[in-house]
Amino acid sequence: RPTKQRGQNFVIDANTVRRIVRESRVSADDVVVEVGPGLGSLTLALLEVAGRVVAIELDERLAAALPATIAEHAPAQAARFEVVLGDAMRVTEVPGPPPTALVANLPYNVSVPVLLHLLQLLPSLERGLVMVQAEVADRLAATPGSKVYGVPSVKAAWYADVRRAGSIGRNVFWPAPNVDSGLVAWDRREPPATTATREQVFAVVDAAFAQRRKALRGVLRGLAGSAEAVDAALTHAGVDPLARGESLRVEDFARIAEGLAATGAPA
Ligand code: SAM
């Protein structure tokens, strides 16, 4: 029985599975990480095209059943498959050669933290294609100025160029979720060139969007300690003190963090 708590909605439509694999552009050169293989429908399709697939599954029973599913439906590919029992938000390593692609129908309740964790953990990941809740897909791919631009958009942009890659209705799942889904495709990019650390930049991003209606000047006070430090950081960054986080690119956040670090602020 699927559990809602673990975001278990299985894709039962073969066309959708084929579409995900096609959009992912995975080839025999790729080592694919799949999160939440579930009953293995996407896993089997990935094994047809990928060099190797490592699947991370939180549910003990599903993880235990997977090798037998692969052995039954794709015996020739079984040697190129490995399942890891664990939480994809917390794994600290993935066994085998460095993964090059992430392809997954992500558990919807944790899709953003899983994606950000793996982007950080696995620099070898060059690209990915994930299915998430439609609203989350919009957020991840949003650009400055959009109403849904926020923390997930900026943090994802630190690692990757992200785009929407289509919509998926709820009837391709069992059980059918209450929301529509969307495909998100990404390609790895160099993070913005900055002397600030990623943690410092992300702290500014979190602060800016915790009060998204407020001007940066007010929002950053807590982080910087003093109004003077905020002004100095915003001047360094060339950012209007009256601007709001929703208008800034990840590069702007990086420069603000750099300015705060220069003033000795405890970001
Ligand atoms: N890939 C399958 C499919 O498309 O039919 C299942 C997708 S289902 C939306 C999400 C899967 O992720 C479930 O199998 C669930 O047990 C698993 N899962 C949930 N939370 C997880 C986590 N934190 N780490 C790894 N797997 C997780």
Q: How far apart are CA 60 and CA 111, in angstroms?
A: 19
Please tell me the distance between residue 108's alpha carbon and the centre of ligand 1 in angstroms.
8
C-alpha distances in Å from residue 36, one per residue of 9, 92, 139, 190: 10, 16, 21, 27
What value does the mean pLDDT take over residues 20-36? 98
Q: How far apart are CA 204 and CA 112, in angstroms?
A: 18
Give ∠ CA 60-66-71 in degrees, rounded to 5: 155
- Lowest-pLDDT choice from 92-101, 119-128, 256-265: 256-265
Instruction: Give the pLDDT score at 264.
Output: 63
Q: How far apart are CA 183 and CA 129, in angstroms?
A: 7
**102, 108, 112, 115 alpha-carbon torsion, rounded to 10°:** -10
38 C-beta closer than 6 A to ligand 1: yes
Length of the chain: 267
Instruction: Give the pLDDT score at 6.
Output: 83
Report pLDDT digits (tens) over 120-172: 999 999 999 999 999 999 999 999 999 999 999 999 999 999 999 999 999 99
Closest atom of ligand 1 to 104 CA is 1
Average pLDDT, rounded, for the chain:
95
6 C-beta closer than 6 A to ligand 1: yes
What value does the mean pLDDT take over residues 68-73? 97
Task: Indicate if ipTM > 0.95.
Answer: yes
13 C-beta closer than 6 A to ligand 1: no
Give ∠ CA 266-92-194 in degrees, rounded to 5: 35
